[in-house]
Structure formats: C-alpha cells, structure tokens
Amino acid sequence: MKKDFYEALEQDIVGLGLAEEEKSKLLKHIMQLKAQKLNIMVVGGTGCGKSSTINALFDAPVAKVGERPDPETMTIEKYELDNLILWDTPGLGDGKEADKKHAKNIIDKLVEKDSDGKALIDLVLVILDGSSRDMGTSFELINNVIIPNLGEEQKERILVAINKADMAKPRHWDYNKNEPDEILKEFLEEKIKSVKKRIKESTGVDVNPIYYCAGDMDDGEQRKAYNLTKLLCWMIKATPTEKRIVYANNMNQQPEIWVDDDEIMDYGQEIRKDIWGSVTEGAGVGGAIGEAIGTIFHCGPIGRAVGTAVGAVVGFFCGIFG
C-alpha cells in the first residue's frame, strides 16, 4: 500500500511535543506545502526512454512504454499525479515542418505563467539516448529551443540526463553488479564532458549532465535501474526549495528501483536533507524547531532525541532507500 508522506510528517510533528502555537504554525505551513504544484517537462527524442524514466521515478505507471507517437498528431502529453504534473514531450527529428511546429509547442509551454505570474514549468528534464551516436537533434533542441526560452534567472531549471547507459557499450556493462565497468565508466564520463562542452559553447550555460538507466521490461526481460537516486537527487536540487517536498509523496515506493548507483554520495540521505529544507524554509520556525524537524528526517543514528514519537518520516524513507 502506498504510504503517505504528509501523514508521516504530521504524525512526527505532533510527536515532537512542541508548544501549541509552534505546532499549529508548522502544521499550517505543511498545509501550504501540500497545495504546491510541481510541473516537470520531460523532453527527448523518440525512444530515448522518457516514458520508462517517468514510470521508474514516480509512483504510478503513467506513461506507455515503447509506443511511437504519430508525428502528425505529435502533442505534449500531460500526466497528473497528486500535485506533480508531468509534461511528456517528444523530441525533434520528424522532419522540418513537424519540428518547427513542435519547437513552438515546447516554447509556448516554457514561457507559460502560473496564477502567481511565475513560470509554470519548474524543471525541464532533457533525456539523451546513451545508445545513440548521433545527438545532433538533441543539441538543436537544448541549445536553440529550450535554453533560450528558460528566462534569465532560470538557467538552472534544466537538467540533462543520459539514459540507457547500459547500451552505450553493452559488452562493458557488468550485469552481475549492475554497473558500468571501468572502460564504460570512462567512456560515459567523456560523453558527459562533451555534452557539457557543446552546451556551454553554444549557449554559455553550465549544465551538469549525469548518466543512468531507467531500466525496464523489454521482451519480458527485466533490466535493472541504475543511478535513479542520483537522477532524483539532481532533479530535486534543480527544483525551487518550497516545491521539493512534492517529490516525497510521488516517488516510486518500490525499494529495488533505488538500489544501484555510483555511490559517489549517499543520495538517499541527500534527498532527505533537501526535503527537510523544503519543510523548514519559509515556515518561520526558529533554529531549535528547524533542528527538531531535522531529527525526524534522519535515517542514520539520530543525533538528538526530540520527543518520543520520532519515526514515521524515518520509516517512510527507510522503506524506500533502505
């Protein structure tokens, strides 16, 4: 059964034994956070794994996998999960006229404003196909369509991720360990550097691409996910602080999806920290209460015991990240 993050959070906050006034202030703040909507645009060429990625990261199988869109009726598809809204957008490469129309659709969506007059799209996730040698149309899309329309102070709204890392050099994927071997690792690192360079040279914008595997069922064969924790972590960091909490209630709750990553960082821990920041920021709480909320977010040894009922949030994250 799906666990509810807000419920866990409220339970722990009540258990902190705060003064009535502080408690109600916090709970009111959580109510406001619950009302936040997070809009993510997922962009990438046909078959790069947009649907697979959406399905792996989030809670419901929302997007059909392996179905080719009809170039004639190519539109931006909208999926709504609770307060998370995903815009699934095919890439370019279907001929000049179709591309032009399609680029215009993307731009219209990118410049759309929400009811507060802020950009509707909080984050653009651009997915590149790691098994493909030709990334020309993807750079066209990133450099000439997306980045120029992100708005001056919002260049950090884009995240570039290379999917199908396992297919970049299939013989160099270690299927037992579910990770790239040293040769493939080096190859993927080079790929990241060259993507970064091509975008920087063309637009002046710094991006930090990562590689991963959405992992998926294909012909009945289960392919395992890799670096999804890193992908989610980077997405959260590129998302406005007050909206980061939205991920908590919508991420895939099957632990096996999140097991394998490059272990450069404890991404699960980092995700918890960023979501904690989302809860405390703008809550108008003092340092002591911020710290108390911090303790209800940690899976490791709990630094300082606050109250007695510490545990629902910890349980929520441990159930997912182990």
164 near ligand GTP (CB under 6 A): yes
52 near Mg ion (CB under 5 A): no
215 binds, among Mg ion, ligand GTP, none (CB under 5 to 8 A by kind): ligand GTP
Count of residues that interact with Mg ion, criterion CB under 5 A: 2
55 near Mg ion (CB under 5 A): no
216 binds, among Mg ion, ligand GTP, none (CB under 5 to 8 A by kind): ligand GTP
SS3 track for the chain: CCCCHHHHHHHHHHHCCCCHHHHHHHHHHHHHHHCCCEEEEEEECCCCCHHHHHHHHECCCCCCCCCCCCHHHCCCEEEEECCEEEEEEECCCCCHHHHHHHHHHHHHHHHCECCCCCECCCEEEEEEECCCCCCHHHHHHHHHHHHHHCCHHHHHHEEEEEECHHHHCHHHEECCCCEECHHHHHHHHHHHHHHHHHHHHHHCCCCCCEECECCCEECCEECCCECHHHHHHHHHHCCCHHHCHHHHHHECCCHHHHCCCCCCCCHHHHHHHHHHHHHHCCCCCCHHHHHHHHHCCCCCCCCCCCCCCCCHHHHHHHHHHC
H or E element, residue 59: none
252 near ligand GTP (CB under 6 A): no
51 near Mg ion (CB under 5 A): yes
Q: What is the closest distance, in whole angstroms, from the C-beta atom of residue 68 to ligand GTP in the complex?
A: 5
Q: What is the closest distance, in whole angstroms, from the C-beta atom of residue 138 to ligand GTP in the complex?
A: 12
Give 124 or 292: the residue with its C-beta nearer to Mg ion: 124
50 near ligand GTP (CB under 6 A): yes
Q: What is the three-class DSSP state of 255?
A: helix
Q: What is the closest distance, in whole angstroms, from the C-beta atom of residue 50 to Mg ion in the complex?
A: 5
**Which of the stretches 43-51, 97-105, 131-139, 249-257 binds Mg ion when contact is defined by CB under 5 A?**
43-51
From CA 309, how far away is CA 282, in angstroms rounded? 24
**Which of the stretches 11-19, 117-125, 164-172, 196-204 binds ligand GTP when contact is defined by CB under 6 A?**
164-172
**Which of the stretches 208-216, 236-244, 268-276, 285-293 binds ligand GTP when contact is defined by CB under 6 A?**
208-216
227 near Mg ion (CB under 5 A): no
Figure out which of the listed residues 14, 27, 30, 65 binds ligand GTP, where binding follows CB under 6 A. 65
Give 55 or 203: the residue with its C-beta nearer to ligand GTP: 55
Q: What is the radius of gyration, based on Cα positions, of the chain?
A: 20
Q: What is the closest distance, in whole angstroms, from the C-beta atom of residue 271 to ligand GTP in the complex?
A: 21
Figure out which of the listed residues 2, 68, 96, 133 binds ligand GTP, where binding follows CB under 6 A. 68
From CA 308, how far away is CA 288, in angstroms rounded? 16
Give 54 or 162: the residue with its C-beta nearer to Mg ion: 54
From CA 127, how far away is CA 159, in angstroms rounded? 9
**Which of the stretches 47-55, 140-148, 155-163, 196-204 binds Mg ion when contact is defined by CB under 5 A?**
47-55
Count of residues that interact with ligand GTP, criterion CB under 6 A: 24
* Binding positions for Mg ion, rule: CB under 5 A: 50-51
Binding site for ligand GTP (CB under 6 A): 44, 46-52, 65-69, 90, 163-164, 166-167, 213-216, 218, 223
